[in-house]
Structure 1
Amino acid sequence: MSNPTEKEYGGGAPEVGEVEGAFNQVEHTHAYDLDLKADVADYKADAVEAENAEHKMGVIDAVKAYPMASFWAFIMSFTIIMESYDVFLIGNFVALPAFKQQFGVWDANGSPPQWVIETKWQSALQVSGQLGALIGVFLAGPLTSRIGYRYATLTGLMLLNAFIFIFYFAKSLPLIFVAQLLEGLPWGIFIANAPAYCSEIVPIKLRAPATQMLQMFWAIGSIIVGAVTYRYNGRLDSSAYKIPIALQWMFPTPLAILIFCAPESPWWLVRKGRLEEAKHSIERLGRRSRLNSSEAVAMMRRVVELETSEKPPSHIELFKGTDLYRTLIVCGVYLAQNLTGNLIANQAVYFFEQAGMGTNTAFALGLTTSALQMVFVMLSWILTTYLGRRTIYLWGSAFNVVLLVALGVAGSVDRTHASNLAQASLGLIISVLFTLGPAPASWVIIGETSAIRLRPLTTGMGRAAYYIIEIPCIFLGSYMLNPTGGNLAGKCGYVWGATGFLCLVTAYFYLPEMKGLSYREIDILFKRRVPARKWKETVIDVQDDE
């Protein structure tokens, strides 16, 4: 019978030194485990302190503690202005006399006879940028996960500078289509990164206004377009549309310089294990005298380790377990932006023309709509911060559905001056009030819902869902409004009212209230599968990690 000691050591009795070495190794391992436990306990205590400090902050306190975080969120949100500018530009071009005369066909049967962009090209031009952005959002997730928010955004800005040249020198509708498709690629990066970055660099109380700035810049983009096209709509030469195209170059280079100087998201740095850099980033975002950067990093480590996985983030994970529910919320909120009448706002000038307004009046109403949208977005900061995301989203959506049905009724009666005014007025009110409730609340929900580890991929997937549903909606919307198509004018309100009602019912059952919750608390509530309507009354202990 063999000696077990010999079998363990490969034959022969062990030397005294070998036995001592084995005991020393056991003692070293035991000491290492104790140190590791002590380290975890230490940083958890710091994490609890940091989370409690954020919960205790008021809105004004948060601004004072993180002044630069608000500034950098403002800068990153500014990237959205470029997609907004171009989307509204194309929407206005189909109503611009010089553009219609250059690229359209003569509609002798119109009332009155006029130059029009054919329905197929009107839809194609408005969908081309979205097709490019659909590709861009799928590129954004892996790109941002690998190189960070700053460098991914810088890549998009430089590409956009180049693609604007193609749009400016295009002399045919097919080439304009290609130019818009290419411009859409960086839009996808911006729209995927901006809400995620903004929600990560600010404390809990500033997440709503920081992410809602995206909707404000969407409105600002439409204001600039409205002012420029209103100024040039009377010209019948190519400068009427060339100058608005060229003005796109105002944005990418100055923004690239600012983004280069911006701090990287500390959450992204913690995910990468670069804790010292994360600490430095936090110190750049806030006042050192008012915050403890070590505790803030500990809070982030705690959340990141709750979500730890041996595998790198992948799109497949978005459709597994509780992450599937989170992905569906983000996608659903994005889808609803297209299914609740938002396209009326994107095609406001054209809608006003089809509602019976003259060209100058239509452009003036479009500009007024955009200006009011910006004001109402700022009002929504207060409502969403203090009343909550779910509350504002549901009530805003319900009111929107009622107005859309009223628009359908106004479009169903005989065409008179009064009915035309009613349609135009309701179209303006719907476009404006959408930016007081559902639209800005959507950006907050999108920024808060996803897991930290999967955030770039989730926001990208959500925006992809937006473009996938927007593309057929654009064709449908253009067909409904175009005199050579459905020529429905205000009766389109029935269609958008029906889809909006479906979105409202779905949100009532599945959209949780995340106001005032830390990312740790949000993670735990999703993992515990707490029903959406019970989130507000569920309390998570500050010591809980699961």
Structure 2
Amino acid sequence: MSATVDSKSHSDDPEVAAQVENVYDLDEKAKAADYKADAVEAENAEHNMGVLEAVRAYPMASFWAFVMSFTIIMESYDVFLIGNFVALPAFTQKYGVLNPATGLYVIETKWQSALQVSGQLGALIGVFLAGPLTSRIGYRYATLTGLMLLNIFIFAFYFANSLPVIFVAQLLEGMPWGIFIANAPAYCSEIVPIKLRAPATQMLQMFWAIGSIIVGAVTYRYNTLDSPSAYKIPIALQWMFPTPLMILIFCAPESPWWLVRKGRLEEAAHSVERLGRRSRLNAGETVAMMRRVVELEKSTKEPNHVELFKGTDLYRTLIVCGVYLAQNLTGNLIANQAVYFFEQAGVTTNTAFALGLITSALQMIFVMLSWILTTYFGRRTIYLWGSGFNTILLIALGIAGSVGKSNASSLAQASLGLIISVLFTLGPAPASWVIIGETSSIRLRPLTTGMGRASYYIVEIPCIFLGSYMLNPTGGNLGGKCGYVWGATGFLCLVTAYFFLPEMKGRSYREIDILFNRKVPARKWTQTEIDVQDDE
């Protein structure tokens, strides 16, 4: 206290004032040095962890990533449900028109496309709401808001009795999906250490496959019923998910990165302790590492969408958007419309549903295999090789569809459709989620993932119309020849990724920020060393 009074009494003396200022500066520099030393220590500890060691150190982080990823199952379930409904006899008899050529009822092309687009239109609205909402109230409360809304909107779908009402119900359900799909990859990538970012974010693709498995099993079980129960029961089963997830998400810790961005450092340290074992980590050092990155990205402005299109953030936004939209241009739509595709390839309805179920089960298995591949071989490597094989198979599908109608041709098209749908979940699809979670800056992450998913829906909507037209017998009736179209777009995505997609395997968020700020070319990231003391 006396020192303070003394310094005030001599504040008019320039020499004394300068000495006091120097002491203050030295004290601040000492604090900054301690804080940076802790940050370096935490980052080195993450780099030195093996995968199994990371799981042991952060067991609850893996669990909460699993819980957040589970929210994706609801969009997957409904997307595949609508895709299967257009091939479900009871649904087509209720809402379809008679096709004189076959004597069977079919959903008109315009409504088939509209129903598959409706949820995506709602999700497009949802992802734009998700960014500002999450930036303001956090991942937990934004996700809880979406789950509560979804519980309500399912009623509209269940009691709908016409195609226009189903369209509106799906649009409403899509809005919470947009929140889930924007938040899940960002949250999962933020709560786990470097070595677990790949499997944590790739769980999203696994739950997408699980959603399709549940739909496949349910519609396979009920597709032979000649009553509204064939589609009412699968709709009602959507209520299985939101309430249990609300309870779990309420109990989940908030992302410590989000808390650090908000300056709530004590809460961030507590969140880190809940995510890992206290005996294996130092929460203070981990928060210091987060503070270092947040300071590196510091801005006086509140995060906004305009920033996504300025400076190096523009490049990062384009990568996220490009990877997202490429999912619709490299075979994903064949996977989403698998049952309908198999029907148009010439197999029976029951066999088509069985093949759809087999496809979904194989997708889940291949996603788990991709955890190993992406963790050890990198994101860029798996993405490029997977996209390359996918393009070749799509062209082969087009050739199989061009040789004339025969039993052999139908089997070849069905087999290639299955292989494309499955291999898509081994390479490009799961690698995409890791890239999406890692690429954006910490400060703009909720906005970037939302914008990226928006690009997905913007491209998916016209692609759904195109895909439905190409497959529908009342439209283009191309069957397997659609492989030529998707093969061409897939090749363009492959070339673009080769030149602009960097390898972020094993990089901390500080290193990723620095590499982007230094404008290192994508193909040279693996050759570039970043010193642990560097901040720019």
Interval containing the TM-score (normalised by the shorter chain):
over 0.9
Does 2:414 align with 1:405? no
**Helix, strand or coil for the counterpart of 2:280?**
coil
- Which one of 297, 302, 326 corresponds to residue 292 of structure 2? 302
Distance, in Å, in 2 between the alignment partners of 1:285 and 1:494 is 47
Aligned to 2:3: none
In the TM superposition, residue 377 of structure 1 has moved relative to its aligned partner by 0.1
- Which one of 19, 31, 39 corresponds to residue 31 of structure 2? 39
Cα distance per residue 1:102-143 (max 9 Å; x no partner):
01111112xx22100000000000000000000000000000
Aligned to 2:75: 83
Cα distance per residue 1:410-430 (max 9 Å; x no partner):
000110000000000000000
Distance, in Å, in 1 between the alignment partners of 2:166 and 2:21 is 66
**Helix, strand or coil for the counterpart of 1:486?**
coil
Residues matched between the structures, number: 529
Aligned to 1:278: 268
Distance, in Å, in 1 between the alignment partners of 2:7 and 2:67 is 64
Cα distance per residue 1:83-107 (max 9 Å; x no partner):
0000000000000000000011111
Aligned to 2:161: 171
Distance, in Å, in 1 between the alignment partners of 2:340 and 2:194 is 40
- Which one of 479, 501, 505 corresponds to residue 511 of structure 1? 501
In the TM superposition, residue 342 of structure 1 has moved relative to its aligned partner by 0.6
Does 2:176 align with 1:195? no
Distance, in Å, in 2 between the alignment partners of 1:187 and 1:304 is 29
Distance, in Å, in 1 between the alignment partners of 2:140 and 2:384 is 34
- Which one of 433, 453, 457 corresponds to residue 447 of structure 2? 457
Aligned to 1:4: none
Name whichever of 31-40 and 530-539 sits farther off. Answer: 31-40
Distance, in Å, in 2 between the alignment partners of 1:314 and 1:32 is 36
- Which one of 59, 72, 76 corresponds to residue 67 of structure 1? 59
Does 2:401 align with 1:419? no
Does 2:245 align with 1:246? no
Alignment of 1:301-320 (within 5 A): 301-320=291-310
Distance, in Å, in 1 between the alignment partners of 2:447 and 2:321 is 12
Aligned to 1:523: 513
Aligned to 2:175: 185
- Which one of 145, 151, 164 corresponds to residue 141 of structure 2? 151
Distance, in Å, in 2 between the alignment partners of 1:25 and 1:160 is 62
Distance, in Å, in 2 between the alignment partners of 1:22 and 1:68 is 57
Distance, in Å, in 2 between the alignment partners of 1:298 and 1:332 is 33
Aligned to 1:8: none
- Which one of 254, 260, 275 corresponds to residue 264 of structure 1? 254
Does 2:46 align with 1:54? yes
In the TM superposition, residue 32 of structure 1 has moved relative to its aligned partner by 3.0
**Helix, strand or coil for the counterpart of 1:115?**
strand
Does 2:386 align with 1:384? no
In the TM superposition, residue 25 of structure 1 has moved relative to its aligned partner by 5.7
Distance, in Å, in 2 between the alignment partners of 1:460 and 1:32 is 43
- Extract unaligned runs of 5+ from structure 1: 1-15
Q: Structure 1: which amino acid aligns with 2:427?
A: G
Distance, in Å, in 2 between the alignment partners of 1:373 and 1:26 is 68
- Which one of 524, 529, 533 corresponds to residue 534 of structure 1? 524
Distance, in Å, in 2 between the alignment partners of 1:227 and 1:18 is 78
Contact 2:7 2:17 in 1 (8 A): no
Aligned to 1:429: 419
Distance, in Å, in 1 between the alignment partners of 2:9 and 2:512 is 51
**Helix, strand or coil for the counterpart of 1:37?**
helix
Cα distance per residue 1:2-42 (max 9 Å; x no partner):
xxxxxxxxxxxxxx998723346655544333222111111
**Helix, strand or coil for the counterpart of 1:142?**
helix
Distance, in Å, in 2 between the alignment partners of 1:58 and 1:354 is 47
Higher gyration radius (CA): 1
Cα distance per residue 1:42-71 (max 9 Å; x no partner):
110000000000000000000000000000
**Taking structure 1 as the reference length, what is the TM-score of the superposition?**
0.96
Does 2:220 align with 1:230? yes
**Helix, strand or coil for the counterpart of 2:535?**
coil
Q: 1:25 to 1:129 in 2, by over 3 A?
A: farther
Does 2:481 align with 1:466? no
**Helix, strand or coil for the counterpart of 2:299?**
coil
Aligned to 2:107: 117
Aligned to 1:102: 94
Does 2:345 align with 1:355? yes
**Helix, strand or coil for the counterpart of 1:412?**
coil
In the TM superposition, residue 388 of structure 1 has moved relative to its aligned partner by 0.2
Alignment of 1:125-136 (within 5 A): 125-136=115-126
Does 2:482 align with 1:492? yes
Q: How large is the RMSD of aligned CA atoms in angstroms?
A: 1.2
Distance, in Å, in 2 between the alignment partners of 1:434 and 1:279 is 39
Distance, in Å, in 1 between the alignment partners of 2:473 and 2:480 is 13
Distance, in Å, in 2 between the alignment partners of 1:209 and 1:331 is 21
Q: Structure 1: which amino acid aligns with 2:159?
A: F
Distance, in Å, in 2 between the alignment partners of 1:520 and 1:445 is 16
